[in-house]
Chains A and B, each alone.
Chain A
Amino acid sequence: MRFMFKTDYEDDIRLFPHSGYLISYGSLLVLLVIAPFVLSSYLVSQLVFVCIYATVGVGLMILTGFTGQASLGHAAFLAIGAYTAAYLQQFNVPFPLYFVAAGLLTGIIGALVGFPALRLQGIYLVIATISFALIVEEILARWESVTNGNEGMRVKTIQLLGTAVPRDSPTFYFLCLGVLILTIVGTLNLLRSPTGRAFVAIRDSETAARSMGVNVSLYKVKSFAISAAITGFAGCLFAHKLSFISPEMFTLQLSIEFIIVILIGGAFSLHGAVLGAIFIVMIDPFLTYLKDDVPGMIAGMAAALGAGSERAAHIQSNVAAFASANGLKGAIYGVIIVLFVLFEPLGLYGRWLKIKLFFQLFPLYKRATFKRQKIYVKSERNR
């Protein structure tokens, strides 16, 4: 086990506290860089969606995980980013310009949403953000001159420095990965700044934060704006990845998916946003793999156990029929989420921390280490 000896403030806020971080993140980066050249474009496509969802996850994490403001309206922010990009692209605006515009406009709208949300807490804030998302969906369907209404918009391939960047190319993957890494590094920086600490203070206790001189309203609006802007950037990439956008794609269900990203991942860390995105995007293809391959494997096992080839084929067809039952994937997905909420409220990242600590302290691991310590002030308990 490593003991950190900190001698000044810089030690405390360093992005890489010790060399181990550099080695592990460095090797992860190397793997991610070579990924598009060794993996099939099906897997790279999944990684692209992971990057986009993780970017949204980081944005939502700032608002919900670190500032404590729940939102079920992030599909609307994603939509604003996507439509801004698609609209500006029609006028031959270069990609870097409309990419920035997508983020900025979404950020401004996020701030505007933040103002009325100042007076709302908990479940009421959730309702307000849902209403906002419904309003945006309605506007997208009605404002036909800009959004083409319910017929949707086609999004052309990105033109960057005079070359086309198709949505299945390694370049597009690197673009999404780059945006994700910049977002994560930017957010880490934000969190160790006074602004980030104010966010966390507001999350833990608004009353305490206010009494320490934190301007609660200002920081809440800031948090909304930053979170929305990041989601807007992701929206621009999302539009390009799908090459077609329509209002019915940005529904409440998508907002719920984003909330699941941070719930499954672990609600109080950026690692969680990435892990949650991996879960949400890759669980469906993974279950598809199982559906395709498990029946053959079981039949193989049955044959190895001496069941006879005819019986093995019979078993295979029965298992295949069960595995491809309609809605089975949805049910498995739902069960996994319920199990997470029941047994691992700290999410995937929480589980990883526990496993890591278990080996670090072996054989002296104490379960109580991760027991929730926070005690609510009585007046804040029912919010």
Chain B
Amino acid sequence: MSISFKVLGLAVSALALTHLPAAAQTKVTNEGISPTEIVIGTHQDLSGPIKVWGVPVSNGMKMAVEEINAAGGINGRKLRLILEDNGYDPKKAVLASQKMVERDKIFAMIGPMGSPTVLAAQDILFDAGVLQLFPLTAAEFTFKFDPAKPQERLKFNNLLPYVESTRAAIKYMMETKNFKKPCLMHQDDEYGKNVLDGFNQQLAAMKVTPASITSYKRGASDFSAPVAKMKSDGCDLVVLGTVIRETIGAMGEAKKLGWNVTFLGATPTNVLEVPALGKEAVEGLYAASGFEIPYEDTARGKVKDWLVNYKKMFNTDANTQAIIGYNAVMTFAYYVNKAGKDLTGQKVLDSLESGDKFLDIFNSPPTKFSKTDHLANTVTQVQQIQNGRWVLVKDNLMF
């Protein structure tokens, strides 16, 4: 009697146990993991308006995959990368994601490109239990998650967010150089809006009123009007929420007017193309950044080898974008390796949330996640263009 009661009790509690956690449990897929292979996917803009980002990022990812496979894979499993073009079109991103989930059976989506493209497609991944790791958009949707929705735990980001990095860089500049009248010129899109938010939040925190805020449409090439306005408003620090061409255009315009003012760019200006194309026009530009940009002639050790290999493989110099793509795959590989030989999706998720620190070869701030925080870090640097090269000014900044 008592034994059968125990059995019944055990059965009931077992039943309860299998049912209770189901509501809060995150479903992680095991698709794409075989004894010999792990399939990963990404969708990049290879033919649309931001292909200057998509192409080098995908190159960096390919290089990381080749390197890992040449070294024998991760615990004996080789990586296979499925790359699709989204053309910065959310419709194509949705279809590409579905294709990769259903046809290619990817285990994780790594480094997908662009805000509208990533946001339109991410639910497809979560529903299928596919991890969305390190997308190339700084939107909050890619790392902030609602604990009540277990599938949202599948998102992680390691890109330095624009709001936080802009705030940290402005704080440093204002405090050390004692600027009184900061201004902002930003692109009229989601990225520019983030820089604007960071600018406004930091100035409010420091109780400074902005001297002027101007914006321009993406694709604009004439900046004489906004620069002249900022000059007449008496700005002493110009914060730029710009990309490559606009940074050069705005600074060139200031030089033309003979206006000697300090410029501080948001993280997207911290790329090799700016000093390479802008030459003396961009000399002296400060920028917020996540990590130091390596140069082939001064780099040493692993970084030097990496730069040489990249050039050999793709016949072009490596840039920031390539490093970001390379690091995305390397970070993934690090945590998969930690998850052990007997690999499952759940183990990879646990490994990502374990708080283990990943350190890359480029001396970036360490990457780490926890059960509640899926954003790697907000540690910012400030760099400056001196004699046509990016030089580190200050490390380890927070706001």
Contact = CB atoms under 8 A, between A and B. Distances in A.
A324 B189 contact: no
A12 interface: no
B200 to A, nearest CB: 13
Nearest to B87: A330
A288 B84 contact: yes
Interface size class of A (residues with CB under 8 A): 20 to 34
A121 to B, nearest CB: 29
B332 to A, nearest CB: 21
Interface string B44-68: 0011000100010000000000000
Give the dominant DSSP class at B's interface. Answer: helix
B37 interface: no
Nearest to B101: A42
B90 A244 contact: yes
Interface in A277-297: 281, 284-285, 288, 292
Given A150-B190, A326-B55, A329-B85, A242 B90 contact: yes
Contact of A326 (B46, B141, B188, B189): B46
Contacts, number: 81
Contact of A284 (B90, B95, B103, B218): B95
B120 A242 contact: yes
Interface string B266-302: 0000000000000000000000000000000000000
A149 B116 contact: no
B98 interface: yes
B124 A168 contact: yes
Nearest to B139: A151
A40 interface: yes
A244 B99 CA distance: 19
Contacts of B141: 154
Query: Which of B83, B127, B188, B192 has the most chain A CB atoms inside 10 A of its CB?
Result: B188
B85 A326 contact: yes
Contacts of A329: 47, 85
Contacts of B51: 326-327
A207 interface: no
A324 B190 contact: no
A327 B46 contact: yes
Contact of B116 (A241, A248, A281, A284): A248
A321 B33 CA distance: 25
B47 A41 contact: no
A243 B189 contact: no
B102 A42 contact: yes
B341 interface: no
A154 B98 CA distance: 19
A45 B123 contact: no
Contact of A151 (B46, B91, B190): B190
A300 interface: no
Interface in A110-154: 141, 149-152, 154
Interface in B72-114: 83-85, 87, 90-92, 94-96, 98-99, 101-103
A249 interface: yes
A330 B55 CA distance: 15
Nearest to A251: B49
B94 A45 contact: yes
Interface string A225-257: 000000000000000011110101100000000
A99 interface: no
A285 B102 contact: no
Nearest to A254: B89
A244 B120 contact: yes
Contact of B47 (A141, A246, A330): A330
A45 B95 CA distance: 7
A49 interface: yes
B61 to A, nearest CB: 13
Contacts of A195: none
Contacts of B94: 45, 241-242
A284 B92 contact: yes
A355 to B, nearest CB: 29
A46 interface: yes
A327 B188 contact: no
A288 B43 CA distance: 12
A50 to B, nearest CB: 11
A293 B101 CA distance: 17
A288 B41 CA distance: 14
A288 B51 CA distance: 18
B47 A150 contact: no
A159 to B, nearest CB: 16
A49 B95 contact: yes
B26 interface: no
Interface of A: 40-42, 45-46, 49, 141, 149-152, 154, 167-168, 241-244, 246, 248-249, 281, 284-285, 288, 292, 324, 326-327, 329-330
30 contacts: A42-B98, A42-B101, A45-B98, A49-B91, A141-B188, A150-B189, A150-B193, A151-B193, A152-B115, A152-B119, A154-B141, A242-B90, A242-B94, A242-B120, A243-B119, A244-B90, A244-B120, A246-B115, A246-B116, A246-B190, A248-B218, A281-B91, A285-B95, A288-B96, A292-B103, A326-B51, A327-B46, A327-B47, A327-B51, A330-B87
The 8 closest A-B pairs by CB, nearest first: A244-B119, A326-B46, A42-B98, A242-B120, A327-B47, A150-B190, A150-B193, A330-B47
Given A242-B94, A248-B190, 16 more contacts: A40-B102, A41-B102, A42-B95, A49-B95, A141-B189, A149-B193, A151-B139, A152-B190, A242-B120, A244-B116, A244-B119, A285-B95, A285-B99, A288-B99, A326-B46, A329-B47
